[in-house]
Amino acid sequence: MTCMADLKGKKVMVTGGAGFIGYHLCHKLSQLTGDLTIYDNLSSGKLENVKDNPKAKFVEGDILDTKKLCSQPKADLIYHLAAQVVVGYSMENPMVDFETNAKGTLCVLEKARKDDAKVVFASSAAVYGNPTVFPTPEEYGFHPFSCYGLSKVVGEEYCQMYREQYGLDIVITRFANVYGLRCHGVIHDFLDKIAKDPNKLVIIGTGMQTRDFVHVSDVMNALVTVGSEDRFNGQVYNLGIGKTTSIIELAKLILTILHLQDKTVVTTTGASWQGDVTKIWFDNSKARKELNWTPKVTLEESIKEVIAARKIVK
């Protein structure tokens, strides 16, 4: 259960707070602490996400700029979300991906070491690569299939090293596919394509790839819980809904909601981008049990929410 009082008076920093998940996290944290800082270089984040969280202080800065990062006022808790998040980009630009996600995490850990701050690290399903165990539990271990996945593994390993060697309080959260208002990714891609031409929808890949879609509000509840309470320190949690949905099923669901199922012709390209994994399906029983976490929002409800917000009416 979330112990909200535990964040009262805490100085909280969110790296990547101008991004999709960061926006929602800062929105939630603004209600729980009066001392919230967003640290973001706006590389993929948006100023409107910052402006829509007016209670948070905004510092435009790069996590790789350790001088600037470490000169920020002392933090008690750092949610480290800033990252290069695109798998295909990581395969084409492994060095940039490594710099931001691996070295960048190290820079954030240095800030945390200086402040003796707790760190909640945003990791990813990508650390599992193409698992052979489903649903995949936390202890399945690291088998990354993309440079992005590998850079997240390195980030996690540094977190664990800082915990063991410097006694830093660390919680690692591995996200499945997070979606909701302001998100990027496949749901918005499909809606963009359909808005352009409702007669056709081209899916990149076979369409048989499956994903574990978890709503951002459910992820927020878990993030606040692990940040608030010390008993979760040192733990790793899968945050996914615990179901898997193929991309073709997702496309059909969207078309049905839009009443376009008989109009839109769905095709697939066959080939996907390098590093794309086949199936993500999380075992979330550890988070359910230890965090008393129950993800509630269904994919259908949320797609309707996104469609309504985009004012797509058919």
148 in active site:
yes
Burial environment of residue 9 by CB neighbours within 10 A (0 to 12, 13 to 18, 19 or more)? exposed
Distance CA 188, CA 207 (A): 16
Please name which of 8, 56, 9 lies closest in space to residue 30, comparing C-alpha atoms. Answer: 56
Residue 175 interacting with ligand NAD (CB under 6 A): yes
- Position 119 contacts ligand NAD (CB under 6 A): no
Q: Does 83 bind ligand NAD (CB under 6 A)?
A: yes
Q: Is the peptide bond before 131 cis (omega within 30 degrees of 0)?
A: no
CB nearer to ligand NAD: pick between 175 and 264: 175
User: Nearest to residue 245, comparing CAs of 291, 187, 296, 175?
Assistant: 187
Residue 154 in contact with ligand NAD, rule: CB under 6 A: no
Q: Is 226 in the site for ligand NAD (CB under 6 A)?
A: no
- Contact status: 150 vs ligand NAD (CB under 6 A): no
Candidates 6, 57, 64, 110: give the one binding ligand NAD (CB under 6 A).
Answer: 64
| Residues 282 and 245 sit within 8 Å (Cβ to Cβ) | no
Binding part of the chain for ligand NAD, among 27-35, 58-66, 200-208, 267-275 by CB under 6 A, reads 58-66
Interaction between residue 178 and ligand NAD (CB under 6 A): yes
For residue 213, give the 3-state DSSP assignment. strand
**How far apart (Å, rounded) are the C-alpha atoms in residues 247 and 203?**
8
Q: Counting contacts by CB under 6 A, is residue 63 touching ligand NAD? A: yes
Q: Does 250 bind ligand NAD (CB under 6 A)?
A: no
Of the pair 84, 228, the CB lying nearest ligand NAD is at: 84
How far, in Å, CA of 241 to CA of 180, rounded?
14
Size of residue set near ligand NAD by CB under 6 A: 28
Taking the C-alpha atoms of residue 200 and residue 162, their distance in angstroms, rounded to an integer, is 50
**Of the candidates 1, 9, 31, 43, which one interacts with ligand NAD according to CB under 6 A?**
43
Q: Which residues bind ligand NAD (CB under 6 A)?
A: 15-16, 18-22, 40-45, 62-64, 81-85, 100, 104, 122, 124, 175, 177-178
